[in-house]
Amino acid sequence: MKIALPPKLQCNFLQKERKAVRIKSTEPISVVLFDNNDHISDDSSMIIPRSKLSTSYMVVTPRTFGRLQNVIGVFGIAALDEDTRINITLRLNSRTRSTIDINGKTYRNLDTFEISMNSFETFQVGSNSLDFTGTIIVSSKPVAVFSGSRCNASLDSKICSQNMEQLPPTNEWDQTYILTPDFDKTEYHYRIIVVEDTLIGIYNPVYYIMGRTYTTDEFTQRVESSKYEDFITDNKPFLVAKFMTGNITNSEMSGTYMTIVQGVNQYKSLYKFVVPEQYIENFLKITIQTSFIQDIRINGQPVDPQMIRYQNSPSVQYTSLIVNVLPGPIEVTTTSSVPFGLGMNGYSSLDAYGFEGSAIFP
């Protein structure tokens, strides 16, 4: 089912508004939001169910990939209940600016401001010169938090695209992640954020990066230019956000998008959603234990080898597949019920979208 929401629900910066939307059903469902920025650019996010929302979040927003420097960093909060009190400790990462004005008051890096919100109210913070990564949001009652950018540029591009993802609360972070490239991509960026000093190891089939300690005072962005996977692991929970740079070789398709990477311990054995129609190509990204790769079923059928656009070496514990799929309803499962990771992305001329699977569904 496709539900079109009116454009007037787009939130304004630094205004408390009643613009949240609640979806209820008699049976379990999955919801994917495709958010269009003034009919210019899309991005998407799998929506987290209310039962998994909580009271502690850390914001992650992208930095520019290309020539455009005025990346419009954004994060937004939606309240679920009356009299929800929210404390926001700001991280203002910028080489040229270190303050932001909110409700007539100037705030600096690490300043905290408070806001009270009622059910269905939203509050969005944005800036054309600030990276809000590391901003901490703590609320008295569960809230929903989104972050991204209204204008993030591809490499060597003068055109920018919207980036958007719903953030999982800190209690739903994982300890192991596998990052996969896009089809025909040469580069992607990712950022690691932590709530306490954390020793993290990054592994790749081609190289090994010695483990190092990441602190709450730094937010790592690593540029990966190979077509291999990165395996990131630690003994404490952390969060990984991935930003695709938007260039596909031998093609006119482009556009950036953002995803919150699905942790290995959050993999599921069944996913259902709808592949959108307005994109030239759409791709499933499946990450599964190598010994179970033959168990994958897409709409009840084994994977068609002719539709596989990328497959990494099966010599590692996990294998990643990128499969070209057609628009319409889709169900991805395994005959053995073994859990696996799933991502979805697509491209059209100068636009792109991407989201990870239902990472924290019950």
> Rounded to an integer, what distance in angstroms lies between the CA atom of residue 169 and that of residue 54?
6
Rg (CA), the chain: 20
Helical ranges in the chain per DSSP H: none
Q: Which residues contact 218 (CB under 8 A, 6 or more apart)?
A: none
Q: Tell me what pLDDT residue 158 has.
A: 53
The SS3 call for residue 295 is helix
Q: Tell me what pLDDT residue 220 has.
A: 56
Q: Which residues is 85 bridged to in the sheet?
A: 116
Please say whether the dihedral angle defined by the alpha carbons of residues 297, 229, 338 and 170, taken in this order, is positive or negative: negative
Q: Tell me what pLDDT residue 159 has.
A: 56
Tally: H helices and E strands in the chain: 0, 27
> What amino acid occupies position 116?
S
| DSSP strand pairing (174-179 vs 230-244) | antiparallel
> Rounded to an integer, what distance in angstroms lies between the CA atom of residue 89 and that of residue 112?
4
Integer distance in angstroms from the first to the last C-alpha of the chain? 22
Cβ proximity of 12 and 124 under 8 Å: yes
Q: Parse the chain into domains and list their residue ranges.
A: 13-20+27-172
Cβ proximity of 351 and 44 under 8 Å: no
Q: Which residues of the chain have pLDDT under 50?
A: 65-68, 223-226, 249-251, 359-362
The residue among 254, 281, 45 whose CA lies nearest residue 152 is: 254
Q: Which residues contact 196 (CB under 8 A, 6 or more apart)?
A: 216, 236
> Rounded to an integer, what distance in angstroms lies between the CA atom of residue 79 and that of residue 145?
9
DSSP assignment of 104-122 equals TEEEETT-EEEEEE-TT-E
Q: Tell me what pLDDT residue 348 has.
A: 75
**Which residue is associated with the tokens 């408390």?**
16
**Which residue is associated with the tokens 């609320």?**
139
Cβ proximity of 193 and 219 under 8 Å: yes
Question: Rounded to 5 degrees, what angle do the CA atoms 329, 331, 337 make?
Answer: 175
